[in-house]
Amino acid sequence: MNPKQLKGKREKLGLTQKDFADALGLGRNGDRTLRRWENGESKPSQIEANAIMNFAQNIPFPNISAESAKFTFIDLFAGIGGIRIPFSQLGGRCVFSSEWNSFSQKTYRINYGETPKGDITAIKSSDIPDFDVLLAGFPCQPFSQAGLHKGFSDTRGTLFFEIERILEDKRPKAFLLENVKQLKGHDHGNTFKVILEHLDKLDYSVDYKVLRAADFGVPQNRERIYIVGFDRKRFSEDTGFTFPEPPCTPTRVGDILEDKVDEKYTISDKLWTGHQRRKAANRKAGKGFGYSLVTADSEYTGTLSARYYKDGSEILVSQGDKKNPRKLTPKECARLQGFPGNFIIPVSDTQAYKQFGNSVAVPVIRAVAQQMAKVFLA
């Protein structure tokens, strides 16, 4: 492999040297190593060269053909496509996706073979193809109390309005919305109240439930609210839909941990001392906040968040008494969210942590999708 081939491969993927180095697992100073390779100052080994040329050579989750699709769907606020995967596996074809973050767009493109459209607020409903199911893990935003019960006016300026207008204009058979558990109590319950009122006015029957990822086979104490709706004009009020019964199979953190982990994931003495000092101060003040330490034998971790890249405090993995704990690797974060093993992580560690922290627990989505399909595919 010559320097021109290496650089060409990276640029074709649209990745920075930092992105590519972290994705290839080149270690703490991997971007410097990659830079030297691209400048011809040194050469990768044959094993490293093969890994580079084989990286993202194939699309792991190509879209199903229009001829073989059982239904169609759109993927809004798509992130890295965690909601998309189970619906595709059920025979769905994605006809439109939207995600504004450029780093998430890279990950999406490399895994699904398409780049999502950008800001949904700038996209007309008429530019979206007809579809059967709307999927959205939308951000939570407050609505004006002054605007309550005033139709569309009280959701304008919020991202829920984008979902609302698309539902009204396109009239899909069904939808699935995912959000943080706290949505129910947001703004003293007014935000959720408005959402339900507006979905009802659009003539959709709605069910919702908080489900926990650890009850669906992944070792993470992640609770999210899932809102499912069906078009009353196509289905009776009693659709027969029920949320899935959690299998509650035993989970173990060790099942998602890698056997060999680079030293760069071990936190520094300074950071570890700071974590311990803050936890001790919080304990003294009667607060329960502080770092969370798990072992391979722990039942589950806390909730992975988008801020995990900052200090990893919510999930630290013990490495014994003689060594500082470490952060999860991006691959372990993918496993903690239940992503398939062939999911490609083509961005820097920092961006990967943000992406998986913002994503969904795929096995929970899969269980909900299967229950929904019993209705809209009947």
Q: Which residues are catalytic?
A: 140
Length of the chain in terms of residues written: 378
Of 122, 2, 131, 110, the residue nearest 57 (C-alpha): 110
Q: Please give the angle made by the CA atoms of 359, 140 and 187, to the nearest 5 degrees.
A: 145
Q: What is the dihedral of CA 254, 259, 261, 265, to 10 degrees?
A: 0
Checking 294-299 for CB contacts under 8 A at 24+ apart, the result is 294/253, 294/318, 295/253, 295/254, 296/252, 296/253, 296/254, 296/257, 297/252, 297/253, 297/254, 298/219, 298/252, 298/253, 299/214, 299/219, 299/250, 299/251, 299/252, 299/253
Of 168, 233, 169, the residue nearest 199 (C-alpha): 168
| 3-state SS assignment for residue 40 | coil
Task: Give the orientation angle of helix 349-358 with respect to helix 102-112, to 10 degrees.
Answer: 80
State which amino acid sits at residue 289: F
Query: Computed from CA positions of residues 170, 192, 233, 74, in that sequence, does the dihedral angle turn out positive or negative?
Result: positive
- Listed in sequence order, the residues at least 6 apart from 5 whose beta carbon sits closer than 8 Å to its beta carbon are 53
The DSSP output letter for 135 is E
Q: CB-based burial of residue 171 (10 Å sphere; 0-12 exposed, 13-18 middle, 19+ buried)?
A: middle
The DSSP output letter for 117 is B
State which amino acid sits at residue 343: F
DSSP string, 154-195: GTTTSTHHHHHHHHHHH--SEEEEEEEGGGGGGGGGHHHHHH
The tokens for 98 are 């939207």
| 3-state SS assignment for residue 260 | coil
